Structure 1
Amino acid sequence: MKIRLISVTMVVFLVLSACQPVANLLGSVTSGGKSQEFAYVFEANADPINVTVALDEGQSVEALIPVEGGSLTAKGMDGTTYTLDIPNDALLVETSIRMTPIASLTGLPFGGSESFAVQLEPEGLFFNNFVTLTITPAQEIPIDQQIMFGYQGNGQDVILAPPVVDSREIKILLQHFSGAGVTKGLLSDTEPVRQRIGGDAERRLQSVAAERLGRERQAQLLGSGDESGGMSEFADLFKQYEEEVVKPRIAAAGESCAAGRLALQTLLGFERQKQLLGIESDGMAEVEKLMDTVGMVCVKEEYELCKNDHVIHRMIPVWLGMRRQSQLLGGSDETEAIKLAKELTQKCLTFELIFNSEATFNAGDGDGYTSSVTSTVKIQFNADEIRMRGQAPLVNKAFEFRAAGCAVTSNRGGGTFEAIDLGYTPQNNIPEGELGKVIDFTLPCHSPV
């Protein structure tokens, strides 16, 4: 069945593929105390940094990226080139991705007037592995004056973004979508507003890690010395975050799909930051265990949406996404959660299709015919072929043949109606938090009479 699979943010099944740490920024220091330097990470932020962006819609590009990966390139009106590279282990299902250069960006309290950024959609899309955004400004920015940043939505909650440490090009590592860019300035410019960077502990931790990686990059590429000293407080920060944020969310993961999704996203983001910084961790075992827990809860919720609200287009992406995720992990694609997802997908996409057709042919002078046929077909989803098909008797309810001046007998026919491959087209670019809908159906069929 030709169905365009969409990425479903209702269920986020992510896992970290192996990535090589750029350096062990923490060394071997361990400490049980709480970090004073980073105490603000856990404090409420009533004034996060928001920026105002204007999109250059005329330069927007969009492509359907398969699970094998691909790339997308856009060019701003100022000549800046933006290239998004998606590896073959980043997507769980093929996904329509849109990239729009930013025409102007204001309100950034660090850096200068030169900022280069793009808006990436769908908003909130998470990846199984890092994707890389390469920014090539028309005028080069010196390495020690590059501040990479990201934001959510249309300019909310600005944080620093992690670079590819060993690259002289401006390469930003992304694990989820909204906006990302670079501004010309010094990392020290962020000092006065550090406590406003990031709207919650999770975003702040990501920003702290990104700043460390930015300093490490400058040290490596410019030979300016090791900037990673005094990291015991940083180790304390990660320990405190694990105890106060990660573990409570994991404990609540089975309460609902939303809670499970949050727990999985939090754990994976946490493990990813540790990998980038070269921190040893055995968190992958917890990831696998949590995936199965979240999978069971979310699949059941998805099936209820299908059964009660006829939201049919989400089940296949959920099932295939879970299966692919397990394969990327090197695990079994026959876990209890995956088997349940397959079973419920088949139930969701099994239904009756009532087919009615009427035909009239007028040859002139009263000649011609009329015919009316009907069939009630049980459509069933074939999980091996990824198709919905079925067949049933085609009943000729009425038939009349007309030939002027001739005596004719009209005999009804009949046959078999076969729905070869029922397909549907889901809504594109479904806003985050909305279910979306099917906007069209296709029905190749065969009905010899």
Structure 2
Amino acid sequence: MRLVAGVACLALAAPVLVGCFPTTRQPAPVPEELAWTIEQSTPTDVTTQLDAAGAVSAVIPVSGGTLTATGADGTSYTLTIPADALRVATEVTLTPVASTTGLPFGETASYGVDIGPDGTELDAFATIQIVPATPIPGDQQVLYQYRGSGDDLAFALPTPDATGISISTDHFSGYGTAATAPNVVQEEYRLGGDAARAIMSELAHRIQTHTQPRADGSRPPIDPDDLQPFLDLFRDYVLEPRIAHATDSCAAGVLAARTYGEFQRHLALLGMSPQPDGRLPGLVTTMAKTCIDQEYSYCRDEHLTYRILPLYVAMIRAVAVAGDVDPSVDEELRAKVVDCLSFRLDFTSEAVVEGDSGWASAVEASVDLTFDLDGIDAKTGSWKPQFREASTELVNTSVSAEQAGWSGCTATATPSDGEFFFYGMELLASGYDAMAVESGPQRVGRLDDVRLRFGTTVAGGDWQVTCPDYPFQPPAISGIWYVTFLGAHADDLIADQSQGGIEFTGWEPGAPGNATIATREWTATGDRVHETGTLTLVHTPR
């Protein structure tokens, strides 16, 4: 997962990095009929009713895949995702839309599908093929899209060279087709609430009206000159301003890099020559460094420990796609992640067997945990960032023995230390988006639980009964704490006995902003036996 290649200006500090992607281009004049697209307008929203019974889900790998859902009316929706469009394997869900109200196309039949996770960004165009239960003539098809559950309606981009109803998209949201000729949609139904969405919506609208499907369902090619005004507008009034502010914050850097990629993808999809100008590596590098620096500060100051790894994975994916990036960039990002994911695990336990021939033994251990970004899954051989295995001394802090139950016999206990082994840990979090880089619940999320795997050697004192008047002496018991602890946690034994040990979940997350990330307390009781203990996970960022 190391990054390769180099570009000299990337060694500069973030405020200077904007100099790595300057432009001398002057904005093109705005055509009068398109002036509205760069003005803020009120989005058009629709209301959708989903057909939950028709929903289908599947994990689509980075290598791509296809998913098909069928609505209650028999309409089929097929999503095709090419290789390297997804940045990680993703569970994708297609949910047919049972009804859509509020479309500005008049009273007409419509067929739609919701694709989740909503807002997922793609690095290549996916296609959505719609086969309505009742066919729509080619000159009556209008393609649309919306965000969320029906927000910010816009025209959707037809797939060039496709046969039938096919939409191209580089993100997941809602898509559909309505049985209304696109060239009769009234002018006041200008769609898209901001300049970026309005311009791309009008671009898609122009393609729809100028490439109405032929009798065989295929679309004729469009003259690139018809699209140039839209592309000029997008570049001059959306892309360039976003690039100019790319160093302002993580959010600004993410937006600039995404917009640059979106622009180049549209050029390629429309059969026009992409316009690579060497600025993408600088943009992506600025984004990655700014975002990881910002996330590290959240980790260090607010103890938000579970966001930085998925953010890092997203950043190195973006850097790898951009190419031509100095390897030192990855080293800098890695150092921040490792410095963030530093913890101390404290363990205490006391085991007691009450009454005659009983004992009491207490142990404790404290181990530092570090993160390995070069970790490999032992079973699959694939890259798996994970905490390094670690060990420390398990100290037998106290031990005592009760009087033996036989007359004339004496019970003794001698302390014995051992070793505590840390095998691995996952922080189980939810309710956050690693790319929600500013504020609000999606930035913070919550820690739900911890999955910890650990083990110990035989330890905790040796118990011996001595009976001078008996010809045979009872056998000694080694590791009386260990014997009691293991018996109390038989249900927590790791199923994969190639590693052995105990797996604990059911932790109590700490208060937000507290360095004590989570605590696991327990009490196990039985006949004459009880064992109590505590595990405390403390964040120790470097």
Tell me, yes or no, if the aligned pair for 2:284 and 2:319 is still in contact at 8 Å. Answer: no
Letter in 2 for 1:414: D
Give the alignment partner of residue 41 of structure 1, picking from 32, 37, 40.
Answer: 37
In structure 2, the CA distance between the partners of 1:310 and 1:448, relative to structure 1 (3 Å rule), is same
Aligned: 1:214 with 2:213: no
Cα distance, 1:382 vs structure 2: 1.0
Tell me, yes or no, if the aligned pair for 1:355 and 1:375 is still in contact at 8 Å. Answer: yes
- Secondary structure in structure 2 of the residue aligned to 1:409: strand
Cα distance, 1:329 vs structure 2: 4.0
Corresponding residue pairs, total: 413
1:234-253 correspondence to structure 2 within 5 Å: 234-253=227-246
- Secondary structure in structure 2 of the residue aligned to 1:159: strand
Q: Which has the larger radius of gyration?
A: 2
Q: Deviations over 1:25-48 (max 9, x none)?
A: xxxxxx9543233222123323x3
1:172-187 correspondence to structure 2 within 5 Å: 172-187=167-182
In structure 2, the CA distance between the partners of 1:370 and 1:51, relative to structure 1 (3 Å rule), is same
In structure 2, the CA distance between the partners of 1:343 and 1:243, relative to structure 1 (3 Å rule), is same
Name 1:53's counterpart in structure 2.
48
1:342-353 correspondence to structure 2 within 5 Å: 342-353=334-345
Give the alignment partner of residue 337 of structure 1, picking from 325, 329, 338.
Answer: 329
Following the alignment from structure 1 to structure 2, what is the Cα–Cα distance between the partners of residues 414 and 85?
Answer: 59
Cα distance, 1:212 vs structure 2: 3.5
Following the alignment from structure 1 to structure 2, what is the Cα–Cα distance between the partners of residues 415 and 311?
Answer: 33
Name 1:311's counterpart in structure 2.
304
Cα distance, 1:155 vs structure 2: 1.0
Letter in 2 for 1:43: E
Name 2:193's counterpart in structure 1.
199
Name 2:423's counterpart in structure 1.
420
Tell me, yes or no, if the aligned pair for 1:81 and 1:137 is still in contact at 8 Å. Answer: yes
Root-mean-square deviation (Å): 2.8
Give the alignment partner of residue 116 of structure 2, picking from 109, 113, 121.
Answer: 121
Name 2:251's counterpart in structure 1.
258
Cα distance, 1:88 vs structure 2: 2.4
Letter in 2 for 1:200: D
Following the alignment from structure 2 to structure 1, what is the Cα–Cα distance between the partners of residues 245 and 137?
Answer: 46
Following the alignment from structure 1 to structure 2, what is the Cα–Cα distance between the partners of residues 284 and 440?
Answer: 46
Name 1:387's counterpart in structure 2.
386
Q: Deviations over 1:383-438 (max 9, x none)?
A: 11011132211112233444422412112222221111111222167596512223
Following the alignment from structure 1 to structure 2, what is the Cα–Cα distance between the partners of residues 239 and 32?
Answer: 6
In structure 2, the CA distance between the partners of 1:429 and 1:260, relative to structure 1 (3 Å rule), is closer
Tell me, yes or no, if the aligned pair for 2:77 and 2:129 is still in contact at 8 Å. Answer: yes
Aligned: 1:448 with 2:457: yes
Structure 1 unmatched ranges of 5 or more? 1-30
Structure 2 unmatched ranges of 5 or more? 1-26, 376-384, 459-542
In structure 2, the CA distance between the partners of 1:224 and 1:122, relative to structure 1 (3 Å rule), is closer
Name 1:376's counterpart in structure 2.
366
Tell me, yes or no, if the aligned pair for 2:141 and 2:178 is still in contact at 8 Å. Answer: yes
In structure 2, the CA distance between the partners of 1:354 and 1:33, relative to structure 1 (3 Å rule), is same
Letter in 1 for 2:46: V
Q: Deviations over 1:263-291 (max 9, x none)?
A: 22222222222222233232362222210
- Secondary structure in structure 1 of the residue aligned to 2:33: coil
Following the alignment from structure 1 to structure 2, what is the Cα–Cα distance between the partners of residues 170 and 178?
Answer: 17
Following the alignment from structure 1 to structure 2, what is the Cα–Cα distance between the partners of residues 303 and 381?
Answer: 14
In structure 2, the CA distance between the partners of 1:98 and 1:228, relative to structure 1 (3 Å rule), is closer
Name 2:477's counterpart in structure 1.
none
In structure 2, the CA distance between the partners of 1:366 and 1:121, relative to structure 1 (3 Å rule), is farther
Following the alignment from structure 2 to structure 1, what is the Cα–Cα distance between the partners of residues 221 and 295?
Answer: 48
In structure 2, the CA distance between the partners of 1:430 and 1:224, relative to structure 1 (3 Å rule), is closer
Aligned: 1:110 with 2:105: yes
Cα distance, 1:368 vs structure 2: 4.1
Letter in 2 for 1:354: D
Name 1:321's counterpart in structure 2.
314
Higher relative contact order (CA 8 A, sep 6+): 1
Name 2:414's counterpart in structure 1.
411
Name 1:3's counterpart in structure 2.
none
Name 2:142's counterpart in structure 1.
147
Letter in 1 for 2:450: F
Following the alignment from structure 1 to structure 2, what is the Cα–Cα distance between the partners of residues 430 and 207?
Answer: 26
Q: TM-score, normalised by structure 1?
A: 0.83
Following the alignment from structure 1 to structure 2, what is the Cα–Cα distance between the partners of residues 430 and 248?
Answer: 25
- Secondary structure in structure 1 of the residue aligned to 2:330: helix
Give the alignment partner of residue 80 of structure 2, picking from 85, 92, 96.
Answer: 85
Q: TM-score, normalised by structure 2?
A: 0.70
- Secondary structure in structure 2 of the residue aligned to 1:239: helix
Cα distance, 1:220 vs structure 2: 6.0
